[in-house]
Amino acid sequence: MCAFPTSRRLKNVQNSENEGVIVLGATPIGNLSDASPRLKEIMVSADIIAAEDTRNFHHLANALGLKINARVMSLHEHNEAHKLSEVLELAKTGSTILVVSDAGMPAVSDPGYPLVAAALDEGIRVTAVPGPSAVLTALALSGLPTGRFTFEGFLPRKAGERRKRLDALLHEERTMVFFEAPHRVADFLEAAIEAFGGDRQAAVARELTKKFEEVRRDSLSELHRWALEGLRGEIVVVVSGAPEPEAASMEDLLPKVAELVDGGTRMKQAVADVAEQHGVKKRDLYEAVLAERKESEI
């Protein structure tokens, strides 16, 4: 699900015969056989096709044996802001516009999100033809927990900025999915070791759905040693989340409350602060503080 800012007031979108529509089409991430019948149908029937790379789109169409009658235009990260108004106007006049990236679902670490947001602001219908996803495929094959995960995409190339982002994820308990260029994987894993520790479990998936698909599962340290040999292909890195912190005992928390009280904080406030910080119930901690006081008075 894609969350938009709460300040955005989305218009109700009603279907009609003359209504234009923007369709996000998921293209194969490697194996052409993963192109769905719905994708092929919309590729042939669309009025306009907005492609991240028009040459790559024509190669895909030719490989699938499709004859494209639509006008094909480019829509990528460098021109998307300038193309928005043109695409929106085309949709308003009743055109069916298919948006495709080079691989996978548009708007997910690929061009498309600004267009989706602008279209919804204008009350233009947006739908999708779902399909291949490098994120979900790598997650499913990683062997790591899949119940809750976070997609972090590409991290900054500069070492300092990359380290800052990883440091912010130190206590992230969900499985984390990253994209990375093959020549930077070793550097990424080295930075991940510094942030999370070398024993953190992870997986590196390359060339998903292709002939030389490979998923290597191991600790960050072992994966780093392997990656130093050099990797090729499209890369997805999946890292396990931080282990859940052990619940602190009431006995461990009593000195923390006492320290705050000695510093001038009212006891109820001190109990509330410590309870929130350590994820325990305020009532239980308060009762433990009172019990300790009674014992000290005996």
> Looking at residues 260-289, what average pLDDT do you find?
87
Structure confidence at residue 298 (pLDDT): 60
- Chain segment 218-242, per-residue pLDDT in tens: 999 999 999 999 999 999 999 999 9
Structure confidence at residue 19 (pLDDT): 84
**Given pLDDT bands bounded at 50, 70 and 90, which one contains residue 4?**
very low
Check whether 3 has a pLDDT greater than 50. Answer: no
| Whether 123 and 209 share a structural domain | no
Asked if 40 contacts 62 with a C-beta cutoff of 8 angstroms, the reply is: no
Check whether 1 has a pLDDT greater than 50. Answer: no
Structure confidence at residue 14 (pLDDT): 40
| Whether 42 and 89 share a structural domain | yes
Q: Has residue 15 been placed in a domain? A: no
Structure confidence at residue 167 (pLDDT): 93
Domain of residue 27 covers 21-132
- Is residue 46 classed as helix, strand or coil in its secondary structure? coil
Domain boundary among 87, 115, 132: 132
| Whether 98 and 43 share a structural domain | yes
Query: What is the count of structural domains for the chain?
Result: 3
**CATH number for the domain harbouring residue 106:** 3.40.1010.10
As a dihedral over the C-alpha atoms of residue 45, residue 118, residue 24, residue 50, rounded to 10 degrees, the angle is 60
| Whether 35 and 122 share a structural domain | yes
52 contacts: CB under 8 Å, gap ≥ 6: 74, 75, 76, 100, 101, 102, 106, 110, 111
Check whether 202 has a pLDDT greater than 90. Answer: yes
Q: Has residue 262 been placed in a domain? A: yes
Check whether 281 has a pLDDT greater than 90. Answer: no
| Whether 179 and 151 share a structural domain | yes
| Whether 77 and 171 share a structural domain | no
106 contacts: CB under 8 Å, gap ≥ 6: 24, 25, 26, 52, 99, 100, 112
Domain boundary among 115, 132, 149: 132
Domain boundary among 132, 153, 176: 132
Q: Has residue 2 been placed in a domain? A: no
